[in-house]
Structures are given as C-alpha cells and as structure tokens.
Amino acid sequence: MTGIKFLLDTNIVIGLLKEYEPAINLVEEIGVVLEKSAVSQ
C-alpha cells in the first residue's frame, strides 16, 4: 500500500495551480489531502 488516497486528474491540478475557483471548490468539497494524492498522466 502506497498511502495514496486520491488520484487527481491533470486538469484539476492545472486548475489549482492557476487558482481556478471551481477546481479549488471541488478539492475542498471532496476533502482532498494533497500529501496523500497522486496525479494521473
């Protein structure tokens, strides 16, 4: 087990980096913990 709990789509990560409000709201609503996340390619 790797400890990864969330697999984030690349578009969500780009939205977070660009501070796009819908992406931020989605991550907050789901309760994503970035330290326990990986990014799909």
pTM: 0.78
Q: What is the pLDDT of residue 41?
A: 83
Amino acid 40 reads S
- pLDDT at residue 22 tops 80: yes
Whether 19 is in a domain gets the answer yes
12 found inside a domain: yes
- Please report whether residue 15 resides in a domain: yes
Range of the domain at 17: 6-34
Nearest to 32 by CA among 3, 13, 4, 6: 6
Number of separate domains in the chain: 1
- Alpha helical stretches, state H, 1-41: 10-17, 21-30
With vertex at residue 29, the alpha carbon angle to CA 22 and CA 6, rounded to the nearest 5 degrees, is 95
DSSP annotation of 4 reads -
| pLDDT tens digit sequence for 26-40 | 999 999 998 999 999
Residue 1 pLDDT more than 60? no
**CA neighbor of 6 nearest in space, from 17, 39, 28:** 39
